[in-house]
Amino acid sequence: MGITSALVLYAVIWFAIFLMIIPVGLKTQGDVGQIVEGTHSAAPHFHNLKKKAWLTAAIAFAIWLVVFLVVTFEIVTVRDIDMFGRMGPAPEG
């Protein structure tokens, strides 16, 4: 895996995890009962995005490391998941 593909893989994993973590523990203005005029009651009262971004970075790095090792050391390859044998035999060497 090249450096560019490793960075892109990390970015994709990071954004996927971040979008899952954003709503965790979120208190809306409607929940708290302090709705600011001109905003929706579902708007966040306090989002705590900095903490969630760092938590996302840690989780994403752990997942990325596992995927990186699997791809780099060829623990699972495309031929392993070729259920219908469409790739043919592996080349020698």
Is residue 67 one of the residues assigned to a domain? yes
pLDDT of residue 47: 83
Is residue 61 one of the residues assigned to a domain? yes
Is residue 15 one of the residues assigned to a domain? yes
Residue 34 structural domain: 3-81
CA 29/CA 40 separation, integer angstroms: 8
- Does residue 93 have a pLDDT over 80? no
Is residue 10 one of the residues assigned to a domain? yes
Q: What total number of domains does the chain contain? A: 1
* Whole-prediction pTM: 0.78
Tokens 């306090």 belong to which residue? 46
Q: Work out the angle between the directed axes of helices 49-72 and 3-21 (0-180°, nearest 10).
A: 140
Is residue 8 one of the residues assigned to a domain? yes
Q: pLDDT tens, 19-40?
A: 999 999 888 888 888 888 888 8
Is residue 87 one of the residues assigned to a domain? no
CA 12/CA 67 separation, integer angstroms: 12
Give, for 44, the enclosing helix (H) or strand (E).
strand 44-46
